[in-house]
Amino acid sequence: MTHRGNTWMIEAMPDSPDSSAATSTPEVGPAVARELVRFRLKQLREASELSPATVAEHTGWSISKLARIEKGEVTVQPLEVRALLTYYGVDDPDEMAALARLSQASRTRQWYSKHRLEGDFQRFVAYESEAKTINVWQMLFIPGLLQTREYAHAVTGLSTRRSPDDKETLARVKLRMDRQQAFQERLAKSGPPRMVAVIDEAVLRRPIGGRDALRRQLTHLLELAAEPAYSIGVIPIDMVHQPGIGGNFELLQFGGERHKDVLFVEAAAGADALITDKERTELFQEIFKDLLAYGRTGEDAIETIEQIRDSIRTP
């Protein structure tokens, strides 16, 4: 996953979230808060049969600013939210207060702000930082959230055709390590997340960074697998029914109905996609279920990783 050089696409956002969801406002992160605000504001404007041009003229904004707010590309201040709600005819004080709180939450500075990420990749990192469950299928290399720093340098250098100590390589590895740290810090909080990673056996045998580096990476993978927050699966290299042959992906789930699943699909030539269309995410839910059903999980997966690690020989 890269934040420069790739083309990202954002498809339809969550289907008709419950409009009452904004009134309960349990604690959510800025990415989910922004989505709830932008969806409700757009929903209310359309229900009021007001054109973007009419709203822009009333507020003194440009049409492009309103469009960016309704797409979730920028945040909106709580006072602006209240003004819009009044203009749209909302007189429920609970909803006004709830949306104002969500607006404030959406503007909270997060750890990834220091990386100066842009556009849709920033949104992906934000969603990953708030997901309840992170489901990953990887057939090319160890998933980023499970990589050692040594392995991360090697695989990033190879994938970008840069040296492991190149400035861009170092920046990407730093972001990956920070994503790992953010996940670890969330484990100490209430409602901790979990990660379910299914890895193709070929990945476990591919000596990226050299055989010693791979052995250390597999040892790290086994250490993580011993922790309750991580579940590791392995797809045997000789499996006839390989449900994940279509490519790598990461499926983020948030629990409940506050936000629909978010899917990141890695594709060739930089044509990666961030998708929340329900029909598509449900398809990948089924693919991931098949990966777990047909692959090795639990102690069988651990045994496979141990055998591969112990078989690695260096000159």
Q: Show me where the domains of the chain are located.
A: 30-107, 112-311
Per the CB < 8 A criterion, the answer to whether 282 and 15 are in contact is: no
Across the chain, the runs of DSSP E, i.e. the strands, are 133-138, 194-200, 230-235, 249-253, 262-265, 273-275
pTM of the model: 0.80
CATH level 2 (architecture), domain 30-107: Orthogonal Bundle (1.10)
List the one residue out of 7, 31, 52 whose CA is nearest residue 182: 31
- 235: three-class secondary structure by DSSP: strand
Q: How far apart are CA 55 and CA 199, in angstroms?
A: 50
* Measured CA distances, 71 to 17, 39, 64, 241 (Å): 15, 8, 10, 40
Is residue 122 pLDDT above 80, yes or no?
A: no
Per the listing, tokens 């959230």 go with 145
List the one residue out of 169, 155, 242, 241 whose CA is nearest residue 203: 155
- For residue 217, name the pLDDT band (cuts at 50, 70, 90): very high
Is residue 24 pLDDT above 50, yes or no?
A: no
Looking at residue 81, what is its pLDDT? 95
Q: How far apart are CA 155 and CA 173, in angstroms?
A: 10
Looking at residue 208, what is its pLDDT? 96
Looking at residue 12, what is its pLDDT? 32
Tens of pLDDT, residue by residue over 261-307, are 999 987 654 556 788 889 999 999 999 999 999 999 999 999 999 99
Chosen CATH of 112-311 out of 2.60.40, 3.10.20, 3.30.870, 1.20.1530: 3.30.870
Tens of pLDDT, residue by residue over 241-260, are 889 998 999 999 997 655 78
Question: What's the CA dihedral at 116, 117, 123, 125 to 10 degrees?
Answer: -100
Tens of pLDDT, residue by residue over 222-231, are 999 999 999 9
Contacts (Cβ under 8 Å, ≥6 apart) of 222:
302, 305, 306, 309
Q: How far apart are CA 155 and CA 290, in angstroms?
A: 28
Per the listing, tokens 């997901």 go with 131
